[in-house]
Structure 1
Amino acid sequence: MKIIHLSAECYPVAKVGGLADVVGALPKYLVQQEVEASVAMPKYDNEWVSKHEFETVFEGRAPLGDWEFDFRIQREVDDTLGFPLFMVDIPGLFDRPGVYVEQESGAPYGDEFERFISFQIAVLDWINQMSRKPEVVHCHDHHTALVPFMMTQSYRYQALKHIPTALTVHNGEYQGVYDHGRQNMLPYFDPQTEGLLDWDGRLNSLAAGLKTCWKITTVSPSYMEELGYDSHGLEGLFQHEKQKSQGIINGIDTEVWDPATDPMIAHHYDRQKTADGKRKNKQALCEQFGLDPQYPTISFIGRLVHEKGADMLPDLFRTFLESPQSVNFIVLGTGDRNLHRQFEAMSSRFVGYFDAALDYNEPLAHQIYAGSDFMIMPSRVEPCGLNQMYSMRYGTVPIVRKTGGLKDTVVDLGDPDGYGITFYDFSLDAARHAVQRAIDLFRQGRKMAALRKKIMHLDFSWNASAKKYIALYKELSN
């Protein structure tokens, strides 16, 4: 079975969020289960790309409105990711280091639509000429969501009309919304079908994909339900397309995220040596941030944005930092500049108890997972969440709000077979109560040690989820 994944991100090639982790892992696990899976993505001008060798497998020229563009499809020579990686080289549009924004200014690229529609057209032109076409084209998020529309409606791709498409919604907040005039850049289609592109009076890429794909998936069952009543204007569409929708929880790549072999952490450990490994890594982490390892250490890793609930963190942390209790807090991430300023001020005020690394740092993230006692995720929205799974893989107890995939993957300690700390309301009081439960748990040494071993034995690998995707592909292609 031949499956092609289309995505703007893929770890470790180019990563902004969890989309990259999924696209970098799922195809590898599909290949291990004898599925012929590959990934096609834009060719960015970044460090990973510059260090790998590519060979051109197809060259073409395609229309983009009133003009045409040249492109090349290039395959990474050594298949170092565990599956074939194809990169779409489009001079002038993707030969930049940033995925969505200027790296220095943080400003979004003004030609976003041109970039991603040209990528999708180039991929379809390539598939169009294949002698053996894929059984399923698997699209990820709005950057590739116009592919199902073009495959079913554009005259240029009539030969692809019968190929099933799956569209996975990793984050429904980002929909690819533009003025209707942009539809003139798509290959010719019957004007009577232009309503498929419309939602609320604008061209909505995600909406068009939801309407025209064969199957919709989201990254957790709970998030699938939530989109039906909270999806930034698409609630009615998700409800209408419910019959072809399915929530499949993400997995994690247990080869990359393995404390026994992880090259990015100070000391290796496994489920048999959890206590010693956690102690040594906590010592290394606390030394790096100037903290005392005898105190409970609670960390946050992620984008400092509204949907992650990061705006709650300063007040939440100050509640404890200004109290008689001794507790450490660490923040790793970038985002809202006001939050940057608040965290910088807190680092100066609460020396020895709080510190923040306000950047993207993958090696440091691994060390924080290994060295922390708890990982807090107070998300307003969390389609699946991977950090809680990474944390448990490293024996770090999650503190999460019960939403989306967090609800599906973390069972509260107070429930039968529970192993995490959860709270329901997005409020300072609810989060404060959850953090206090964590501090109290830390003081119960034996209970804490047993819990660490328990969560390290949980299986969040892609194996089970990959089997569900294989079943979905077989259903579509039969």
Structure 2
Amino acid sequence: MNILFLASEAFPLIKTGGLADVAGALPRALIKRGHSLRLVLPAYRSVLERLRSDQREDKPPALKVRGQIDLDGTPVTLWQTRLPGTRVQVWLVDIPAFSERAGNPYVTPEGVDWPDNDQRFYTLCRAAAELAMGRAGIDWKADLVHANDWQGAMVCEMLAREAASPATVFTVHNLAYHGLFDYQAMHRLGLAPWLWQPDFLEFYGQLSFIKAGLVFAQRLTTVSPSYAREIQTPELGCGLDGLLRARREALSGIINGIDVQAWNPARDPCLAVPYDRRRLVRKADNKRALCTELGLADAPDKLLLGFIGRLVEQKGLDLLLATLPELLARGDVQIALLGSGVKAYEQAFTGLAQDYPQSLSVTLGYDEALAHRIEAGVDVFLMPSLFEPCGLNQIYSLRYGTLPLVHAVGGLKDTVIDSDDPQTANGFTFAPASVEALRATLKRALALYQDPEAWQQRQWNAMSGDYSWDRSAAEYERIYELALEDKKQNA
């Protein structure tokens, strides 16, 4: 089928979170399965600059004008390129609000939402709708549009008003982000007044972009089966649980895959020493190299814990800060942390590192190569998230034989198995999200680490899983077929 895949970011062109990883990988897997796919992204200034700087004289143009889309008399330039290193064709929607603005896609340098985000992403959706309907002067029309998160949600409402329109699938990557705007946005965008009601786009006195996807798409997905159930509850439904319960027959949870080429310990150029299941002994060399790099003591008998992620409350950092000082004081563990976020958390961890310089390393910011070395070098990867729609780091960890220790929630619960069966267990889970539960699970991990044979068996189990996008793409393909059937029945 012809699939238009609409996203606000895609790795490696632009990335702020997990959506970029999905948008950079799932289209590749779908093309591999025989579909014709176009990835539609905003033409951010940084993306255009990168593509132009990557251009080589001996290669065809990496970036060319594909056409123009007329939106109420305003011409919008459409650039065409390919996702670097892939066969995925990319259409970049070029409007001044994207292409003449540097910085983060969603927020100002001060961390405040861009004040015109409603108009920016509504225009993106309008352009995507024209492309999907085959009205952009390009000989290609979509059978199905796959929109992602609030930034792409409005395309579902637009296509619902069209005759002979493509089917739509809408994916929620994190329900906590609604895309909320004031009532005046209804007038700024020229939306029909009837949309301003709770059954459609109104949300407690605000306009909710995400509801356009949740209400109007034929099929809904989110990024794990457990998260699909959790968002139907008042605790994790973010005020939308009633709507999601009403649409539960259309809602599915599909675990994200990972790029098994980029995340492959046997061929990872970032590592000190490559390894795999048969050469698992080499993992110890990566632990030693990581400790040297980060200034930690060379202590192979100590459990080395890792954490990579945003330093925000969602990630369960209060649990860590209440638990780790005791372990550090006893000399039970070492810790390698990479991330940035809330200043209070940054200061708390850097202060703790000053107290235990040979046991705790804190690197503020993000470094992709270091992230790979942490995944390979640590023994246990910590993800005590209060909620986690899918999570990717625990999957990277499984692939690298690093045992994840996670709060049993969302995609963490679906991917990490903590059982008494030595043939299936691949990590550690705890519940509820309490200091006591986390402390008890860390003690279990410490005890198992003293049994090398049992520890290695759990590592083998972890490294034996299928974490490729091929599996996930087949599930999305099934959802697409159901969406097409739904569209046909309701035509």
Describe the shift of the 1:292–1:97 C-alpha distance in structure 2 as closer, same or farther (beyond 3 A).
same
Q: Does 2:180 correspond to 1:211?
A: no
* Structure 2 CA distance for aligned equivalents of residues 5 and 437 of structure 1: 44
1:267, CA displacement in angstroms?
2.0
State the shift of 1:77 in Å.
Answer: 4.9
Task: Mark the CA change 1:175 to 1:188 in structure 2 (over 3 Å): closer, same or farther.
Answer: closer
- Normalising by structure 1, we get a TM-score of 0.93
Residue 24 of structure 1 corresponds to which residue in structure 2?
Answer: 24
- Report the counterpart of residue 127 of structure 2 in structure 1: 122
1:224 equivalent in structure 2: 228
Deviations 1:26-61 (A, max 9, x none): 111111111222311112222644544211112134
1:81-160 to structure 2, matched below 5 A, reads 81-94=86-99, 95-103=101-109, 105-128=110-133, 129=135, 130-153=138-161, 158-159=162-163
Quick check: 1:250–1:465 contact (8 Å CA) kept in 2?
yes
CA 122–74 in structure 1, closer or farther in 2 if over 3 Å, else same: same
Does the 8 Å contact 1:29/1:466 carry over to 2?
yes
Listed one character per residue, the Cα deviations across residues 374-401 of structure 1 (whole Å, up to 9, x for unaligned) are 1010011111111111001011000011
Residue 44 of structure 1 aligns with which residue?
44
Query: What's the CA shift for 1:292?
Result: 2.5
Offset at 1:122? Answer: 2.1
**Structure 1 residue aligned with 2:59:** none
**Inter-partner Cα distance in structure 2 for 1:184 and 1:455:** 53
The equivalent residue for 1:413 is 419
Return 179-188 or 468-477, whichever deviates more.
179-188
Matched with 2:360 is: 354
1:74 matched to 2:83? The reply is: no
Q: Distance in 2 between matches of 1:9 and 1:458?
A: 28
State the match for 2:280 in structure 1.
274
Q: Is residue 2:183 matched to residue 1:177?
A: no
Secondary structure of the 1:322 match is helix
Cα distance in 2 between the residues matched to 1:377 and 1:415: 22
Aligned to 2:457: 450
1:56 aligns with 2:65: yes
- Structure 1 residues 9 and 275, CA gap change in structure 2 (3 angstroms): same
Question: Matches of 2:264 and 2:239 in 1, distance apart?
Answer: 40
For 1:192, the equivalent position in structure 2 comes to 194
Selected match of 1:400 from 402, 406, 409 = 406
Secondary structure (helix, strand or coil) at the match of 1:384 reads coil
Contact 1:143 1:176 in 2 (8 A): yes
Q: Is the 8 A contact 2:150 2:210 kept in 1?
A: yes
| CA separation of 1:70 and 1:304: change in aligned 2, threshold 3 A | farther
1:410 shift after superposition: 0.8
User: Do the aligned partners of 1:28 and 1:81 also contact (CA within 8 Å) in 2?
Assistant: yes
Q: What's the CA shift for 1:109?
A: 2.2
Give the secondary-structure state (helix, strand or coil) at the position aligned to 2:141: coil
Deviations 1:205-264 (A, max 9, x none): 111221111111011111010001021111111111112111111111111111122222
Is the 2:425–2:458 contact (alpha carbons within 8 Å) kept by the matching residues of 1?
no
- Tell me how far apart the structure 2 counterparts of residues 426 and 188 of structure 1 sit (CA, whole Å): 42
Matched, 1:334 2:340: yes
Structure 1 pair 120/455, CA: closer, same or farther in 2 (3 Å)?
Answer: same
Counterpart position of 1:34: 34
Aligned-pair identity in percent equals: 35
- Number of the residue aligned with 1:6: 6
Letter in 2 for 1:163: P
Q: Say if 2:42 and 2:98, in contact at 8 Å, map to a contact too.
A: no
Query: What is the deviation of 1:466?
Result: 0.7
1:93 is paired with a residue whose SS is helix
Q: Do residues 309 (structure 1) and 316 (structure 2) align?
A: yes
Tell me the distance in 2 between the aligned counterparts of 1:261 and 1:187: 52
Contact 2:416 2:426 (8 Å CA) reproduced? yes
Shift in Å at residue 296 of structure 1? 1.2
1:115-147 Cα shifts (integer Å, max 9, x gaps): 211211222233331443111100011111111
**Aligned pairs for 1:377-392 within 5 A:** 377-392=383-398
The residue type paired with residue 149 of structure 2 is: D
- The aligned residue for residue 446 of structure 2 is 439
Amino acid at match of 1:15: K
Residue 166 (structure 1) shift: 0.4
SS in 1 for 2:77: strand
Name the CA distance, whole Å, in 1 between partners of 2:332 and 2:83.
Answer: 51
- Aligned-pair CA distance for 1:431: 0.8
Distance 1:106 1:414 in 2: 45
Question: Equivalents in 2 of 1:78, 1:300: separation in Å?
Answer: 29
- Residue aligned with 1:149, SS: helix
User: 3-state DSSP class of the match of 1:108?
Assistant: coil
C-alpha displacement of 1:265: 2.2
Task: Give the residue type in structure 2 aligned to 1:26.
Answer: L
Deviation of 1:69 (Å): 4.9
Distance in 2 (alpha carbons) for counterparts of 1:8 and 1:329: 34
Cα RMSD for the two superposed structures: 1.9
Match of 1:242 in 2: 248
The letter of the residue matching 2:347 is R
Residue aligned with 1:303, SS: strand
Residues 73 and 87, structure 1, Cα contact 8 Å, conserved in 2? yes
Number of residue pairs the alignment of both structures matches? 465
**In structure 1, distance between residues paired with 2:147 and 2:327:** 44
Q: Does the 8 Å contact 2:277/2:463 carry over to 1?
A: yes
Displacement of 1:274: 1.5
More displaced stretch, 440-449 vs 134-143: 440-449
Within the alignment, does 1:423 sit opposite 2:430 as a pair? yes
Gaps spanning 5+ residues in structure 1: where?
none
Comparing 348-357 with 266-275, greater Cα deviation is found at: 266-275
Deviates more, 1:373-382 or 1:53-62: 53-62
Letter in 2 for 1:331: L
Asked whether the equivalents of residues 425 and 461 of structure 2 are also in contact (C-alpha less than 8 Å), the reply is no
